[in-house]
DNA sequence: CTGTGTGCAAACTCTTTGCATAAGT
DNA sequence: ACTTATGCAAAGAGTTTGCACACAG
């Protein structure tokens, strides 16, 4: 069972393993890398019989993000996507379906970056490869 | 005067050069490459003494986008940014100020792209280099 | 017990839409 | 005149917040 692992994960991140957090974390981290919106995760939790409000899902996602367990992905539009894969990698985005697919961190290489303006440094480079039907 | 040029620009794009469109186009295209949100553009138009509603600014931005005069940039967050530079290029995004800066199209090169999944093809690659204070 | 987390509903922000009026050709 | 665009206000999405109650330690 993943229950114990998830509790430890949360504790290590400084978050109390409440029932809702454990349930959400199990959905997020129990089955490999995932890309979720708050709405999708809430739906899954409810389907799994968990009593969680959408507001708590939002709060929890942001707590997990602050704790370094998730990364938010900027794909534009208005929905916020969260990625359970926090290693360095990029994404395909299938416009028609609103679906994200990981591109392994090792495959894409970005060259020719100019120097950032004064007093600023690069925190992160997002590459989103947008896909449409052929 | 840019008035005549802007009218022609709109006409070429199949858009009637109404007073508001001319005013917005003049703000957008009259002074080099720009990155605007609807709110910023609306504010500028009002300051310039133009009577335009925010709703019309939104509508106009999307019309311009559909006409190929603007490109929308996905930087995440909730605001939509529009770029008057429609050539192939990428962006610095200064998180602290919500400011976008063009990176010339020629400088960045993305290598090692994997094949897109079945029946899909690449429509566009967005590279956003996020900057934070040093 | 004590403090933190949750649920709910309401507030908020950004954006879109419907419909009567105004403007372009 | 005829058609298309605009303004306004209201609706709509997605997200955040405030506060009373519930739960973990």
Structure token pair of residue B52: 């335009």
pLDDT at residue A96, rounded to an integer:
86
pLDDT of residue B32: 86
Q: Contact A12/A2 with Cβ under 8 angstroms? A: no
State mean pLDDT over A86-115: 91
- Cβ-count burial A69-86 (b if 16+ within 10 Å, e if not): bbbebbbbeeebbbbbbe
Q: Is the CB of residue A79 less than 8 Å from the CB of residue A91?
A: no
* Cβ of A130 less than 7 A from strand D: no
pLDDT over 60 at B34, yes or no? yes
Per-residue pLDDT reduced to its tens digit, B78-119: 889 999 999 999 999 998 888 999 999 889 999 999 999 889
B21 touches strand D (CB under 7 A): yes
DSSP H helical ranges for B48-126: 54-66
State the pLDDT at residue B125.
93
Please state, rounded to an integer, the average pLDDT across all residues of chain B: 92
**Any idea where the domains of chain B sit in the sequence?**
6-79
Give me the CATH topology for the region A6-79: Arc Repressor Mutant, subunit A (1.10.10)
Sign of the dihedral defined by the CA atoms of residues A23, A68, A101, A58, in that order? positive
Is residue B61 within 8 A of residue B117, CB to CB? The reply is no
Mean pLDDT of A117-124: 92
pLDDT of residue B4: 58
Instruction: Give the mean model confidence (pLDDT) for residues B30-35.
Output: 90
pLDDT score of B56:
94
Q: Is the pLDDT of residue A125 over 80?
A: yes
Contact assignment for B108 to A111 by CB distance below 8 Å: yes
pLDDT over threshold 80, residue B72: yes
Contact state of A109 with B104 under an 8 Å Cβ cutoff: no
Q: Which nucleotides of C are covered by protein (CB under 7 A)?
A: 4-10, 13-18, 23-25
Asked whether strand D has any atom less than 7 Å from the CB of A55, the reply is yes
């Amino acid at each position: 069972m993943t229950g114990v692992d998830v509790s430890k994960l949360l504790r290590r991140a400084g978050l109390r393993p409440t029932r809702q957090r454990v349930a959400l974390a199990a959905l997020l981290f129990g089955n490999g890398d995932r890309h979720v919106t708050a709405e999708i995760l809430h739906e899954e939790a409810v389907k799994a019989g968990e009593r969680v409000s959408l507001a708590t899902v939002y709060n929890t996602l942001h707590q997990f993000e602050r704790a370094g367990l998730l990364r938010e992905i900027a794909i534009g539009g208005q929905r916020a996507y969260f990625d359970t894969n926090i290693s360095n990698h990029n994404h395909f985005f299938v416009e028609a379906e609103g679906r994200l697919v990981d591109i392994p961190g090792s495959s894409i290489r970005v060259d020719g970056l100019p120097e950032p303006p004064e007093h600023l440094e690069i925190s992160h480079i997002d590459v989103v490869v947008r896909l449409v039907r052929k």
